Structure 1
């Protein structure tokens, strides 16, 4: 988690440096140094939010994977039961 937050904080600082480069302004002026922590904070906030999104999506995918594997196991048990002639829903005669 820390690596993702640090990456996005660095990305925020790089964005500020790129912005000043496009404007052809000096990177380190005393009047504009306050913007670097702001850009880093916004980037770090985005990275923290993105980490939460990743955790939620991973949990959803694990849950779906578990349910799909259970469904496949039930279906294979049902097919094995039908193949061996064990009375199942299709083999029961009325």
Structure 2
């Protein structure tokens, strides 16, 4: 989980660098340093949310797989 949060936090910082590069503004201006933690935090929170989505979907898929395998076993027992 930590790797996904760190990746998306780094992606948020990279987006900030890209934004400043497109605007041709200095990367480390004293007045705009507060935005880096904001972008990193938004990216990290997205990564945390994405990890939860992945875990929920994996649980649903495992349950469906188990259900299908049980159904196949019951059918094989009848035949």
Q: What band does the TM-score fall into relative to the shorter chain?
A: over 0.9
Equivalent residue for 2:56? Answer: 56
Q: TM-score, normalised by structure 2?
A: 0.98
| Structure showing greater Rg | 1
Q: CA deviation at 1:73?
A: 0.4
Count of residue pairs the alignment pairs up:
79
What do you get for the CA RMSD once the two structures are aligned?
A: 0.4
Equivalent residue for 2:20? Answer: 20
Give the structure with the higher percent helix.
2
1:28 counterpart SS class: coil
- In the alignment, structure 1 segments of 5+ residues that lack a partner are 80-94
Spell out, residue by residue over 1:40-69, the C-alpha distance to the aligned partner (whole angstroms, 9 max, x if none). 000000000000000000000000000000
Q: TM-score, normalised by structure 1?
A: 0.83
Q: CA deviation at 1:32?
A: 0.6
Q: CA deviation at 1:15?
A: 0.3
- The 2-side partners of 1:40 and 1:27 are apart by 15
- The 2-side partners of 1:36 and 1:12 are apart by 8
Report 1 or 2 for greater relative contact order, CA contacts < 8 Å, sequence distance ≥ 6: 2
